[in-house]
Amino acid sequence: MLFQVEMTVKLPPDMAPERAAEIKAREKDYAQELQRSGKWRHLWRVAGSYSNVSVFDVADNAELQELVSNLPLFPYMEIRVKPLCRHPSSIRDDDS
Ligand SMILES: O=C(O)C[C@H]1C=CC(=O)O1
């Protein structure tokens, strides 16, 4: 199942820079691991913001919840999820 996931990061302004850097480094490792696994298919920065638009390819809602809630930045994110399905006019054969 495909899901569009929009994540907006809101770190507390008083978080120590070293702590923020450590969480972001763990986040990057985890995000890249999920991308290599094929579960995190797309990761795009929303220009001008500390947000991304992503596409996840997971078995079900429960797997999405597990993956997203394990993000190191999860406690500091606002997350919006939209389920996706194939568009009948799409010419791509790899977007189902
Ligand atoms: O930067 C972000 O959008 C938040 C998060 C998503 C992947 C990652 O490395 O950090």
Whether the ipTM is more than 0.90: the answer is yes
In the reported structure, the alpha carbon of residue 94 is separated from the centroid of ligand 1 by a whole-number distance in angstroms of 24
What does DSSP assign to residue 75? G
Query: Domain extents for the chain?
Result: 2-84
The residues, any chain, with a CB within 8 Å of residue 88's CB and separated by 6 or more, are none
pLDDT digits (tens, 9 = 90+) for 10-65: 999 999 999 999 999 999 999 999 999 999 999 999 999 999 999 999 999 999 99
Give the number of other CB atoms < 10 A from CB of residue 79: 13
Three-class HEC string of 6-26: EEEECCCCCCCHHHHHHHHHH
Atom of ligand 1 nearest to the CA of 30: 9
What topology is assigned to 2-84 in CATH?
Answer: Alpha-Beta Plaits (3.30.70)
- Ligand 1: residues with CB < 6 A are 7, 9, 27-28, 31, 52, 73
To test ligand 1's pocket by mutation, which of 4, 5, 9, 42 has the most ligand atoms within 8 angstroms of CB?
A: 9
Q: How far apart are CA 17 and CA 48, in angstroms?
A: 21
Q: Is the pLDDT of residue 75 over 70?
A: yes
